């Protein structure tokens, strides 16, 4: 988007349809989880259109064909806990990807992200890292999680989220301008508590029924 060069909003009928169902307050946790999974798969397709490839010879039933495969490893890193629901959707398209985890919680008074856990594959820095979190609100969690990935040596980082807000996108652009963000929607604003409007509520609570 011209006002947010680090953001790509996926404009697709299937994304729009599933997101509208995800937003509905009447959507039950089981359906919410299914929709998060499906949207994550669609966003993964959009986020990986330019992954580097390497040439490989493949023996077909008839002859040797010159084919192409991904050039490097891919690591999926969900932000605990809400990002867990997106992980399997990413793995639908990238089953060979490894999965790391970054744990942060939001201080409800300061709205700052407080880290409490990090576990990554030892060679995560050798390839693409896809950071997944349903909501990009203030951006504090995304900035902190990306910083932890940087500390681990990761350089090729992309973020997938379902719904983003302008302050979060701007915060990421300020601190990590080279990290592209792929989202299903850019919503209007944040309320006084830092929740996205119109948003879809607390993605973690709605996934897990808490």
Active site residue 27: no
State the pLDDT at residue 1: 62
* 71 in any annotated domain: yes
Structure confidence at residue 142 (pLDDT): 94
Instruction: Please give the chain's pLDDT, 210 residues, in tens.
Output: 668 899 999 999 999 999 999 999 999 999 999 999 999 999 999 999 999 999 999 999 999 999 999 998 999 999 988 899 999 999 999 999 999 999 987 777 776 778 888 999 999 999 999 999 999 999 999 999 999 999 999 999 999 999 999 999 999 999 999 999 999 999 999 998 889 999 998 888 898 887
Per the residue annotation, which of 110, 155, 188, 191 is the catalytic one? Answer: 110
Q: Which residues form the domain of 86?
A: 7-208
Name 107's Cβ contacts closer than 8 Å, sequence gap at least 6: 113, 114
The helix (H) or strand (E) run that includes residue 93 is helix 84-93
Q: Please give the DSSP secondary-structure letter assigned to residue 124.
A: G
Q: Please tell me the total count of domains within the chain.
A: 1
Token pair for 174: 């300020």
Bridge partners of residue 55, in order along the sequence: 68
CATH of the domain at 189: 3.40.50.2020
Domain-embedded: residue 2: no
Q: Is 110 a catalytic residue?
A: yes
- Look at residues 169, 205, 171, 172 and name the one whose alpha carbon lies nearest to residue 187: 169
> What integer pLDDT is reported at residue 43 of this predicted model?
97
Residue 105, in any domain of the structure: yes
Res 3: pLDDT: 83
What DSSP state is assigned to residue 92?
H
19, part of any domain:
yes
Task: Collect all residues with Cβ–Cβ distance below 8 Å to 155 and sequence separation of at least 6.
Answer: 125
Residue 179 tokens, joined: 């990290």
Active site residue 123: no
Q: Which of 21, 34, 150, 202 is catalytic?
A: 202
Instruction: Give pLDDT, residue 63.
Output: 96
Q: Which of 21, 106, 118, 150 is catalytic?
A: 106
3-state secondary structure of 165: coil
User: N- to C-terminal Cα distance for the chain?
Assistant: 35
Please report whether residue 1 resides in a domain: no
- 3-state SS assignment for residue 57: strand
81 as an active site residue: the answer is no
Q: What pLDDT score does 111 carry?
A: 67
pTM for this model (two decimals): 0.91
User: For residues 18 and 173, what is the distance between their CA atoms, to the nearest angstrom?
Assistant: 27
Instruction: Fill in the DSSP letter of residue 50.
Output: T
- Residue 203 resides in a domain: yes
Angle, alpha carbons 163-82-39 (nearest 5°)? 50
The reply to whether 29 falls in a domain is yes
In-domain check, residue 81: yes
CA distance 130 to 165: 19
């Amino acid at each position: 988007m011209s006002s947010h060069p680090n953001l790509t909003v996926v404009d697709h009928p299937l994304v729009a349809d599933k997101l509208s169902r995800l937003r509905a307050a009447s959507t039950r946790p089981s359906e919410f989880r299914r929709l998060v999974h499906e949207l994550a798969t669609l966003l993964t397709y959009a986020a990986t259109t330019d992954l580097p490839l390497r040439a490989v010879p493949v023996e077909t039933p008839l002859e040797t064909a010159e084919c192409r495969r991904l050039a490097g490893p891919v690591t999926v890193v969900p932000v605990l806990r809400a990002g867990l629901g997106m992980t399997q959707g990413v793995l639908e398209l990238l089953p060979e990807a490894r999965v790391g985890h970054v744990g942060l919680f939001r201080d409800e008074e300061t709205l700052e992200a407080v880290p409490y856990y990090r576990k990554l594959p030892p060679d995560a820095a050798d390839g693409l890292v896809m950071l997944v979190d349903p909501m990009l609100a203030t951006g504090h969690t995304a900035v902190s999680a990306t910083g932890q990935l940087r500390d681990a040596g990761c350089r090729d980082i992309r973020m997938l989220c379902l719904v983003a807000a302008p302050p979060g996108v701007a915060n990421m652009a300020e601190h990590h301008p080279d990290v592209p963000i792929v989202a299903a929607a850019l919503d209007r604003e944040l309320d006084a508590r830092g929740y996205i409007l119109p948003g879809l509520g607390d993605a973690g609570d709605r996934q897990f029924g808490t």
